[in-house]
Amino acid sequence: METLIQDVRYGLRMLRKSPGLTAVAVLTLALGIGANSTIFSWINGTLLNPIPGVSHASDCVELTGLSYPDYVDLRDRNHSFFALVAVDLYPMELTGNENPQHVWGVFSTANYFEGLGVKPILGRGFSPEEGEKPNAAPVVVLSYDLWETRFGGERSVIGRVIQVNKHAYTVIGVAPPDFVGTQAGLQADLWVPTSMVEQLHDLDLLPARGDTWLLPIGRLKPGVTREQAQAEMNVLMQQIVREHPDSHQGDNSITLYPLWRAPFGMNGLHPHNPFSAVRCLGRGSPTGLCQRGKSSARALGGTAARNGDPAFHRRIAQTPDSPIARGEFDPRLVCRLPCDAVHDMDR
Shared-domain flag, residues 61 and 174: yes
| DSSP for residue 305 | P
Identify the CA nearest to 208 among candidates 71, 304, 317: 71
Mean pLDDT of the chain: 77
Shared-domain flag, residues 142 and 7: no
Query: Please, what's the b/e burial string for 81-101 (b: 16 or more CB within 10 A of its CB; e: otherwise)?
Result: bebbbbbbbbbbbbeeeeeee
Q: What is the pLDDT of residues 313-324, one digit of tens each?
A: 444 444 444 444
Shared-domain flag, residues 85 and 135: yes
* Domain-terminating residue out of 162, 182, 201: 201
Shared-domain flag, residues 61 and 139: yes
How far apart CA 282 and CA 163 sit, in angstroms, is: 39
Check pLDDT > 80 for residue 310.
no
Q: How confident is the model at residue 22 (pLDDT cuts 50, 70, 90)?
A: confident
Q: Is residue 206, in this structure, part of any structural domain at all?
A: no
Identify the CA nearest to 214 among candidates 5, 323, 72, 328: 72
Shared-domain flag, residues 191 and 71: yes
- The count of residues in the chain is 347
| DSSP for residue 214 | B
**Looking at residue 281, what is its pLDDT?**
30
Identify the CA nearest to 92 among candidates 104, 80, 100, 74: 104
Question: Domain residues for 92?
Answer: 57-201
Shared-domain flag, residues 272 and 308: yes
pLDDT cut 70: percent of the chain above it: 71
* pTM > 0.85: yes or no: no
Shared-domain flag, residues 100 and 189: yes
**Looking at residue 284, what is its pLDDT?**
30
Shared-domain flag, residues 22 and 132: no
40 compared with 11, residue with greater pLDDT: 11
Q: Is residue 310, in this structure, part of any structural domain at all?
A: yes
In angstroms, the Cα distances linking 93 to 196, 228, 337 are: 15, 41, 20
Shared-domain flag, residues 107 and 197: yes
* Domain-terminating residue out of 31, 48, 65: 48
Q: What is the pLDDT of residues 110-136, one digit of tens each?
A: 999 999 999 999 999 999 999 989 999
Question: Cα–Cα–Cα angle for 133, 96, 321, nearest 5°?
Answer: 75
Q: Is residue 296, in this structure, part of any structural domain at all?
A: yes
**Looking at residue 280, what is its pLDDT?**
31
How far apart CA 267 and CA 11 sit, in angstroms, is: 44
| DSSP for residue 13 | H
* CB-based contacts of 307, cutoff 8 Å, min separation 6: 64, 65, 212, 295, 296
Check pLDDT > 80 for residue 291.
no
The average pLDDT across 199-204 equals 89
Q: Is residue 73, in this structure, part of any structural domain at all?
A: yes
Shared-domain flag, residues 43 and 101: no
Q: Is residue 93, in this structure, part of any structural domain at all?
A: yes
Q: How far is CA 68 from the centre of its chain?
A: 18
Shared-domain flag, residues 316 and 278: yes
**Looking at residue 337, what is its pLDDT?**
36
97 compared with 170, residue with greater pLDDT: 170
Neighbours of 121 (CB within 10 A): 13
Least confident piece of the model among 41-45, 61-65, 242-246, 287-291:
287-291
Shared-domain flag, residues 68 and 169: yes
**Looking at residue 31, what is its pLDDT?**
83
Identify the CA nearest to 305 among candidates 179, 197, 183: 183
Three-class SS of residue 105?
strand
**Looking at residue 51, what is its pLDDT?**
80
Neighbours of 206 (CB within 10 A): 18
Q: How many domains does the chain have?
A: 3
How far apart CA 82 and CA 115 sit, in angstroms, is: 8
**Looking at residue 267, what is its pLDDT?**
53
Q: Is residue 188, in this structure, part of any structural domain at all?
A: yes
How far apart CA 256 and CA 200 sit, in angstroms, is: 29
Q: How confident is the model at residue 139 (pLDDT cuts 50, 70, 90)?
A: very high
**Looking at residue 43, what is its pLDDT?**
53
**Looking at residue 265, what is its pLDDT?**
62
* Domain-terminating residue out of 181, 201, 221: 201
The β-bridge relationship of strands 161-164 and 190-193 is unpaired
Q: Is residue 113, in this structure, part of any structural domain at all?
A: yes
* CB-based contacts of 59, cutoff 8 Å, min separation 6: 82, 219, 220
